[in-house]
Amino acid sequence: MKKRKYSFNFILGTVLLALTLIPAIVGLFWTPYDPEAMDVSLKMAGISIKHIYGCDNFGRDIFSRVMSGSAITVVIAVGTVALGSIIGTILGAFTGYFGGIIDEALMRINDVALAFPSLLLALVMVSLLGSGKYQVMLALGIAFIPSYARIVRSEYIRIKNLDYVKSAKLAGASDLRIMFVHILPNAKTVLLSSVMIGFNNAILAEAGLSFLGIGVQPPDASLGRMLSEAQSHLFSHPSYALLTGCTIVAIILGFSLLSKEIK
């Protein structure tokens, strides 16, 4: 058997994701210090062996906060992509398969929604739903529906006229069966690559919303929110902003390198 050779991009992407996602997953259950415990004596403490990323303006351990913050960010991103892709797939499947007036009307709305940057759409949704981690997940999920609906719809339009679908129809398969048993597996590749891109966009959008102060609310930690707090200490403690920001960059870079390889 030939040994598979991994490309540089693949290795770098995996390393970056391992460095960021393993602490995030561990951060769901355990952190070195309580991410919300404040200690005045450690206020803005520098980098040391006990606190490898130092402490923030409330004396909280930054590494613990980065761990739990990336965990929240990743959970929100997963929820967002799940919500957006499932509802988007169902909508796209029905509109693409059946067509007609409903398809026309929904796609017109979809076009407008797609022209809006997802962050702005999420801003609108947050102003309707309020802020907090579940609201952000819901808001971003709804904001992501149009892009998935559009992608799945065009796949369904392409596939529904292929011979194997016609023969399934002749064999008496129901519309629902054709849509989800016959067509969906063939739309999988396209869907998968957009899920990867969607994951990145979700992380960016969540960080953006939290940075603006209308995303995840304290006491929950979030990378975006930490970055906006770190910004006011940029003069005295640039390491706070740099370490938090680089975590976001590493997650996004890791994912985009991996998705490039998977394509």
Partner 1 sequence: MKYVLKKILSCIITLFIVSLLVFVAFALIPGDPALSRLGTNATEATLAAMRHQMGLDRPLAVRYLSWLADALRGDFGTSYSYSMTVSSMILDKLPITLTLMLFSMILMVVIGVPLGVYASYKEGTVIDRIIQIINQINMAIPPFFSGILITLIFGVTLKMFTPGGFVSINRDPLGFFAYMFFPSLSVALPKCAMILNLLYSSLNGEKKKDYVRTAYSRGNTSNAVFFGHMLKNASIPTVTFLGMALADMIAGSIIVEQVFGIPGLGRILLTSIQNRDYPVVIAIIMLIAMIVIVTNLLVDVLYKVIDPRVGNQ
Give contact residues for partner 1 (rule: CB under 8 A).
108-109, 111-112, 115-117, 119-120, 123-124, 126-128, 204, 207-208, 211-214, 224, 227-228, 230-231, 234-235, 238, 241-242, 245, 248-249, 252-253, 256-257
Give the tokens for residue 115: 């022209």
Query: In this complex, which beta carbon is closest to partner 1, that of residue 59 or of residue 208?
Result: 208
Query: In this complex, which beta carbon is closest to partner 1, that of residue 86 or of residue 128?
Result: 128
Please state whether the peptide bond connecting residue 218 to the residue before it is cis, i.e. omega within 30 degrees of 0: no
Query: In this complex, which beta carbon is closest to partner 1, that of residue 13 or of residue 35?
Result: 13
CB of 202 to partner 1, least distance (A): 12
CB of 252 to partner 1, least distance (A): 4
Residue whose tokens read 């679908």: 165
CB of 117 to partner 1, least distance (A): 4
CB of 49 to partner 1, least distance (A): 26
Query: In this complex, which beta carbon is closest to partner 1, that of residue 126 or of residue 191?
Result: 126
